[in-house]
Homo-oligomer: A and B are copies of this chain.
Amino acid sequence: MIGYKIHNLACELWGINRSITGEGVRRTLEHIKGQYLPSLNIKSVSSGTKVFDWIVPKEWRVNQAYIITPQGNKICDFSINNLHLVGYSKPFHGKMKLVELQKYLYSLPAQPKAIPYITSYYEERWGFCLTQEQRDSLNDGEYEVVIDSELFTGNLNYGELILQGQSNKEVFLSTYICHPSMANNELSGPTVVTYLAKWLSELPTRYYTYRFIYVPETIGSISYLSKNYKKMKKNVIAGFNVSCVGDERSYSYVPSRNGKTISDQVAKHVLKWIDPNYISYSWLDRGSDERQYCAPGIDLPIASILRTKYGKYPEYHTSLDNLDKVVTPKGLEGGYCALRRALEILEKNRTYKVNILCEPQMGRRGLYSTLSRKKSDPETRLMMNFISFCDGEHSLLDIAEKINIPAWRLYEIIDQLVSHDLILQI
């Protein structure tokens, strides 16, 4: 089961301290390149580079970070859980009373066993995150705070993999690698994308060219677009932002801004047949890099196929979003299969025209029962229904929607009809 393989990869990447810049991003990309996708290109953009309205921020490095309690215990130790440190915390070393320290602590009263995930990318701050239970157990007295971090001119990194197809028209997949140890809202994305890229790279032929990127969210996609959007606007015909594809609780869809692109059509088609109860969100519920890909003037046809969406499950952005209870091999496999179904449909979504006028005589081709009874068999009926829409105006997906069956039920029928010279791809 491929879900186990994907889950293994997620475990391999779990402990790395990813952020929007820094060593954690590079280590993540290098691991994927080294073990799974040798053709992955790891690229960099220098701190300070202007990317549209934004500036690539400094690189962040954490050597150590912790707090010493009045009793001499080390708590909030970054080396034990990287969520303890507010992301992008500036260096700090000092002593302070608990009442003062409290201003720098973040916890979740409603989820007393969860360490929250907090960042401060665009204003220099420091802080620690801890469970409410631990916070409540702190005693008065003097605490020593140690944050041995650096913010320095360095690079923002991302990974890019392009698989050339017969056509220069592209299908685009984007995922993000900027959260530390979290599972559904981080590792499910790059791990599923990696296995999709592996599958596509091993296909004997591809119609479309595939562009995969692994970027830090927001600043990464903006940086990438600032370099590539003109070419992408010209070539990208469909794509998905891949995030939160690892739990078992639901399937979900976030539309592109346009809402009617082929990516949207395919996503809704696949999800309808995989899970009729899938949750259909609106553009107003967006929250990942589709915000950039679909921004006015960029306008790429990017939708999202997800399991349980960011912000819609209780463990989101906490230490509880883990690889045990939230993200599972079965959940990852579901996310992988949904996206793979979608990519397969895009590959095969051509338009066909029947070669003859009126219905073909299927009987003499062995495609039809020769004995007329009360009912025709369902396979024959499906084939005749398909042919009836092969008018050169309906795509495979259009026809699947008209006949109300999964598009993949038609692949074999198409092969049969093409081999009998009854339909022609146009």
Contacts and interface: CB of A to CB of B under 8 A. Distances in A.
Interface of A: 52-55, 116, 118-123, 125, 218, 221-222, 225-226, 229, 257, 283-284, 286, 291-292, 294-299, 311, 316-317, 353-354, 356-361, 363-364, 370-375, 384-385, 388-392, 402-404
A257 B360 CA distance: 17
Given A283-B388, A371-B118, A296 B52 contact: no
Contacts of A311: 374-375
Given A297-B391, A391-B297, A222 B371 contact: no
Contact of A284 (B257, B292, B403): B403
Contacts of A389: 257, 296
B371 A125 contact: yes
Given A54-B358, A296-B353, 5 more contacts: A120-B372, A122-B364, A296-B389, A297-B391, A311-B374
B356 A53 contact: yes
Q: Find the residue from A52, A295, A403 having the highest chain B CB count within 10 A.
A: A295
A218 B361 CA distance: 10
Contacts of A359: 53, 218, 222, 291-292, 295
A297 B392 CA distance: 10
5 contacts: A53-B358, A120-B371, A283-B402, A284-B403, A295-B388
B284 A358 contact: no
Given A371-B118, A374-B317, A229 B292 contact: no
A375 B314 CA distance: 12
Contact of A296 (B119, B226, B354): B354
A257 B372 contact: no
A122 B54 CA distance: 72
Contacts of A294: 388
A118 B372 contact: yes
Contacts of A316: 374
A425 to B, nearest CB: 14
Number of copies: 3
Contacts of A361: 53-55, 122
A257 B384 CA distance: 13
A311 B372 CA distance: 13
A74 to B, nearest CB: 26
A296 B390 contact: yes
A358 B122 contact: no
A317 to B, nearest CB: 5
Interface core residue of A218, A317, A361 (most chain B CB under 10 Å): A361
A372 to B, nearest CB: 5
Contact of A356 (B52, B283, B391): B52
B222 A374 contact: no
A420 B317 CA distance: 32
Q: Which of A294, A358, A389 has the most CB of B within 10 A?
A: A358
A293 B130 CA distance: 68
B358 A123 contact: no
Contact of A357 (B116, B119, B295, B356): B295
The 5 A-B residue pairs with the shortest CB-CB distance in the complex, in nearest-first order: A296-B391, A123-B370, A122-B363, A53-B356, A292-B358
Given A291-B359, A295-B359, A297-B391, A119 B54 contact: no
Contacts of A121: 370, 372
Contacts of A373: 116, 118, 317
Contacts of A391: 296-297, 299
A387 to B, nearest CB: 8
A55 B361 CA distance: 9
A215 to B, nearest CB: 13
A276 to B, nearest CB: 19
